[in-house]
Chains A and B, each alone.
Chain A
């Protein structure tokens, strides 16, 4: 059991800086997901933790020990490589026994440990095969087995489910959650799949462009995105973000943009008038009731719900999530309500910080989204 700390870690490859001062404190026994778009520095972060890449500046701590200068083998970690990296000339059993052998586990003890791990991952029948005689999913489980056979301080998993079919993926996701609960080890899990991060992690570290954007539990990341990037990145379909400005009108704060004038709730202290963005999640947009009018542009029925895109004006389209398959026609004009209490206000720019307090209710009631529709102060076009 060990905590993991990144302290002001930067990483440059020549002139290119892949990581700009990462500060990340992972608690002992915590399951942390590193989530972000391709090229944001997730793998780089993990590889530095594993000792396969060296930080340009900053310190990496595992279990209160600075590990910057320790070789990978001395860090007491186990890693699942995104590429599996199975040893082709060894059988499944030999692959799984290799870390034990390298750490001086007596030969007599290795057999039972391999058998136990293989059973857990349903690999018992495959122990004598070579990696190339296995399917992708089986290889993946061997890679997992080679890591899980040990009892290291920290498990590192780099997109370990990325190449599996949906069924196997959800099956292994459940197995990993169960495993983490049973072993209670610190786990760092790299993924660009937000569903994996949301369902598995205790906390999610969202990264972008080599910067940590937010580090918080899944529910908070969803309900209270720290900045505009996180707001747009988390959630499918994504949050609707409308650019405009915050204005003060007779002591009340309003958001004006693209012909809309909307009340904004609970601004943080220190928010000032100026350019800003207004965000609203699909489940906080109501179709069929509300003070706005919109035209249905697109409906996407998935069975249990329908994703509806409505144009409020020529420039503003909002996405709504409606349970079931309501009968809505393209081109139909319908009343639209935006749930004021659940709105998210961000400062201008792609990484503009959050400017209002959340209701805390966002996302909690997907099916029952009856809440006070946002009062619309004025529908006049703002110049």
Chain B
């Protein structure tokens, strides 16, 4: 009798503890960003700010390069995501649907990227990009992010692609579609959940990336948010906590929007029966 109640209780306590542990830093970030400077280091700390201020946000937007970094990050992540999703989708289609020599080994070889720590890859990559005349450009970061997002994206899309029955495409071809037409009309809609997962993964990865951005880009024109904000607010002597928290909040907003928007797509489409099982 006792166990019957105890089980759910333990489970609930565990779940809520986890949620709190994850959510509290976010809450603290939000609270800190709207506290005036004077309240910041008060002891004991105030859970909710006694007076609210948006001066840190205003300061970031008007007095700093924040908007430039933000625009860079948006462009960088969007272009990388488009590139990775396109290449991964077409690549997965090829790997699953066509038979050619080296197909399997090709799929495995792309995973080699993950066997080496990125620190090892970063110098050769930097030298290559410099010799291509791409140093200090956003595009160099697009290429760099693509190199480490693509292998995983390819494998993700490959498993989604493998779940789409051949017959669907063949049926479309018999019905008069070209191979490309069948791909667009019939395969792509089936891949939508996979494409969205891949896009989310790539976007978040690009948005939060720090190391490559630090090494490959050295000018404010091309700096994304991660390195830009660090560079601007954290020095050896001082950390601008309020500004940092305000910047962090604004950095999280696009991700939250993207998630909220795509979540329904992500779960929809799964489990839609295509052919009899």
Evaluate contact between A85 and B176: CB separation under 8 angstroms. no
| Chain A 38-77 per-residue mask, 1 if CB under 8 angstroms from chain B, else 0 | 0000000000001110000000000000000001110001
A79: chain B residues within 8 A (beta carbon): 171, 174
Indicate if A282 sits at the interface (CB-CB under 8 A). no
User: Whole-angstrom distance from the CB of A2 to the nearest CB of chain B?
Assistant: 16
A52: chain B residues within 8 A (beta carbon): 170, 173-174
Evaluate contact between A132 and B276: CB separation under 8 angstroms. no
| Chain A 88-112 per-residue mask, 1 if CB under 8 angstroms from chain B, else 0 | 1100000000110011000000000
B170: chain A residues within 8 A (beta carbon): 50, 52, 72, 81, 85
Indicate if B31 sits at the interface (CB-CB under 8 A). no
Indicate if B272 sits at the interface (CB-CB under 8 A). yes
Evaluate contact between B173 and A89: CB separation under 8 angstroms. no
Indicate if A29 sits at the interface (CB-CB under 8 A). no
Indicate if A136 sits at the interface (CB-CB under 8 A). yes
A229: chain B residues within 8 A (beta carbon): none
Indicate if B186 sits at the interface (CB-CB under 8 A). yes
B190: chain A residues within 8 A (beta carbon): 88-89
Indicate if A201 sits at the interface (CB-CB under 8 A). no
User: Whole-angstrom distance from the CB of A117 to the nearest CB of chain B?
Assistant: 14
Q: Interface range on chain A: under 10, 10 to 19, 20 to 34, or 35 or more?
A: 20 to 34
A146: chain B residues within 8 A (beta carbon): 171, 175
A85: chain B residues within 8 A (beta carbon): 165, 167-168, 170-171, 274-275
Indicate if B254 sits at the interface (CB-CB under 8 A). no
Q: In the complex the two chains form, what is the Cα distance from A71 to B190 in whole Å?
A: 23
Indicate if A313 sits at the interface (CB-CB under 8 A). no
| Chain B 140-175 per-residue mask, 1 if CB under 8 angstroms from chain A, else 0 | 000000000000000000000000010110111111
Indicate if B177 sits at the interface (CB-CB under 8 A). yes
Indicate if B273 sits at the interface (CB-CB under 8 A). yes
Q: In the complex the two chains form, what is the Cα distance from A87 to B189 in whole Å?
A: 9
Evaluate contact between A73 and B171: CB separation under 8 angstroms. no
A89-B177 in contact given A52-B170, A83-B165, A98-B172 (Cβ < 8 Å): no
Evaluate contact between B174 and A78: CB separation under 8 angstroms. yes
| Chain A 167-196 per-residue mask, 1 if CB under 8 angstroms from chain B, else 0 | 000000000000000000000000000000
Closest to B188 in A: A89
Indicate if B178 sits at the interface (CB-CB under 8 A). yes
Evaluate contact between B274 and A131: CB separation under 8 angstroms. yes
Closest to A50 in B: B174
User: Whole-angstrom distance from the CB of A93 to the nearest CB of chain B?
Assistant: 15
Q: In the complex the two chains form, what is the Cα distance from A88 to B178 in whole Å?
A: 19
**B273 interface neighbour in A77, A81, A131, Cβ under 8 Å:** A131
**B175 interface neighbour in A89, A99, A139, Cβ under 8 Å:** A99
**B171 interface neighbour in A81, A103, A132, A163, Cβ under 8 Å:** A81
User: Whole-angstrom distance from the CB of A102 to the nearest CB of chain B?
Assistant: 3
Evaluate contact between A83 and B275: CB separation under 8 angstroms. yes
A50: chain B residues within 8 A (beta carbon): 170, 174
A98: chain B residues within 8 A (beta carbon): 172, 175, 185
User: Whole-angstrom distance from the CB of A74 to the nearest CB of chain B?
Assistant: 9
Q: In the complex the two chains form, what is the Cα distance from A86 to B170 in whole Å?
A: 11
B174: chain A residues within 8 A (beta carbon): 50-52, 72-73, 77-79
Evaluate contact between B175 and A136: CB separation under 8 angstroms. no
Evaluate contact between B276 and A83: CB separation under 8 angstroms. yes
Indicate if A357 sits at the interface (CB-CB under 8 A). no
Q: In the complex the two chains form, what is the Cα distance from A286 to B176 in whole Å?
A: 57
Q: In the complex the two chains form, what is the Cα distance from A156 to B35 in whole Å?
A: 73
A102-B189 in contact given A86-B274, A89-B272, A131-B274 (Cβ < 8 Å): no
Q: In the complex the two chains form, what is the Cα distance from A87 to B185 in whole Å?
A: 9
| Chain B 176-201 per-residue mask, 1 if CB under 8 angstroms from chain A, else 0 | 11100100011001100000000000
Evaluate contact between A81 and B167: CB separation under 8 angstroms. yes
Indicate if A116 sits at the interface (CB-CB under 8 A). no
Closest to A139 in B: B276
Closest to A156 in B: B174
Evaluate contact between B167 and A83: CB separation under 8 angstroms. yes
Evaluate contact between B272 and A87: CB separation under 8 angstroms. no
User: Whole-angstrom distance from the CB of A346 to the nearest CB of chain B?
Assistant: 39
Which B residues, 246 to 274, have Cβ-Cβ distances below 8 Å to chain A?
Answer: 269, 272-274
**B177 interface neighbour in A102, A131, A163, Cβ under 8 Å:** A102
Q: In the complex the two chains form, what is the Cα distance from A87 to B171 in whole Å?
A: 9
Q: In the complex the two chains form, what is the Cα distance from A50 to B167 in whole Å?
A: 12
Evaluate contact between B176 and A89: CB separation under 8 angstroms. no
Given contacts A51-B174, A102-B177, 19 further A-B contacts (CB under 8 A): A51-B173, A52-B173, A71-B173, A79-B171, A81-B167, A83-B165, A85-B167, A85-B274, A87-B274, A88-B190, A88-B273, A89-B189, A89-B269, A89-B272, A99-B175, A102-B176, A132-B272, A136-B276, A139-B276
B-contacting residues of A (Cβ < 8 Å)? 50-52, 71-73, 77-79, 81, 83-89, 98-99, 102-103, 130-132, 136, 139, 146, 163
Q: 13 A-B pairs, CB-CB below 8 angstroms?
A: A52-B174, A72-B170, A78-B174, A83-B276, A85-B165, A85-B171, A88-B273, A89-B189, A89-B190, A89-B269, A98-B175, A131-B273, A139-B276
